[in-house]
Structure 1
Amino acid sequence: MQQIVDHVRTFDGVLVLAPEPGGPFPEIAWGDAFFYYAPDGAVPERTQPYGTIVTKDYPDDRSSALDAPDRFRVNIHVGRERAAQLPLGEDPAASDAFARHPQYGDAGWVSAVNPGSGTAELVLALLREAHEAARARTERRDRGGR
């Protein structure tokens, strides 16, 4: 997990939000990571992250069995078209395999539990693509476009 976070930190204009105990974020988010395109270093007010890493089951999302030891899931907004091009499996709990995000798959999110030799390289490439797409959206919005 830390290798992925460290890689994303190299992206120009990235903000990696990593809530920790005692901070201003809810306890449920502690230990997770949220990736934004935010060149000013502030969490965007009207934008969701383009990628996340979750380290535990959430109350409304237990399908990836993340409460088991040493499990985490990378979630990436790739868009519906790109998601349709990826080798997505059916089991959101399968390790080192891509699947539609258990909750946001219809919105173009994909996920991978414990990326390894079969998925790690593509996970990093997809995070880069998602970052660049977030940059493009931000630049359009800043120019007054859609």
Structure 2
Amino acid sequence: MTMDEIIGFVEGLDGVLAIRPGPDDGSPEISWGDTYFFHSPDGVVPPATQPFATIVTKNYPGDESSRLDRPDAFRVNVAAGKESFRHWTGHAPRQPVVDDDPGAADVVQAHPVYGSLGWLAVVNPGRRTDTAVRELLRTAHRLARSRHERRKESTRSSEEGEG
């Protein structure tokens, strides 16, 4: 899978806002070239909300173990929930990971930094993980959509209670 294929797939899901930081938008330079996916039917980045998936194209400080400084390396990061995390890793998010190679390509594994929060990651997804990555992205999108709907309902209930 290429980054463009992944971006196209995720943008095809309902209500997705893909943010691609660049030099002309005021975003920090370190984020340029990466992509952040939010569930946002109104097309505005939701306040105080994390993306449900990202694509990163470089090492970040404290997150060098995936070795994204290699040519053409990138990593898909997905918040696919505890159930998916347990399915792919064999353990709960907060349990320590042993013997994983965070730089291994085309392998679904715990995110090297955010695995304890239930994030999964795949460096350079390919033939072995194509179907899994798409399913994980669908699941993360569904979970983000559900959170968005709960927040919207909670806001609506609060506003009705003020009257």
TM-score range, shorter chain: over 0.9
Counterpart position of 1:93: 103
Moved more, 83-92 or 106-115: 83-92
**Count of aligned residue pairs for this structure pair:** 145
> Normalized against structure 1, the TM-score is what?
0.95
Asked if 2 retains the 8 angstrom alpha-carbon contact of 1:81 and 1:108, the reply is no
Rounded Cα–Cα distance in structure 1 between residues aligned with 2:32 and 2:134: 23
Asked if 2 retains the 8 angstrom alpha-carbon contact of 1:73 and 1:111, the reply is yes
Larger radius of gyration, structure 1 or 2?
2
Asked if 1 retains the 8 angstrom alpha-carbon contact of 2:108 and 2:129, the reply is yes
- Normalized per residue, which structure has more helix? 2
Structure 1, unmatched stretches of 5+, are none
**Overall identity of the aligned pairs, in %:** 49
Rounded Cα–Cα distance in structure 1 between residues aligned with 2:89 and 2:145: 26
Asked if 2 retains the 8 angstrom alpha-carbon contact of 1:18 and 1:30, the reply is yes
Counterpart position of 1:107: 117
- Superposed, which structure 2 residues align to 1:11-90 within 5 Å? 11-87=13-89, 90=100
Counterpart position of 2:93: none
Using the TM superposition, give the Cα deviation of residue 74 of structure 1 relative to its aligned residue in structure 2, in angstroms: 0.2
Asked if 1 retains the 8 angstrom alpha-carbon contact of 2:84 and 2:136, the reply is no
SS at match of 1:56: coil
The answer to whether residue 138 in structure 2 is matched with residue 116 in structure 1 is no
Structure 2, unmatched stretches of 5+, are 91-98, 156-163
Using the TM superposition, give the Cα deviation of residue 87 of structure 1 relative to its aligned residue in structure 2, in angstroms: 5.0
Q: List structure 1 runs of 4+ shifted beyond 4 angstroms.
A: none
> Normalized against structure 2, the TM-score is what?
0.85
- Normalized per residue, which structure has more strand? 1
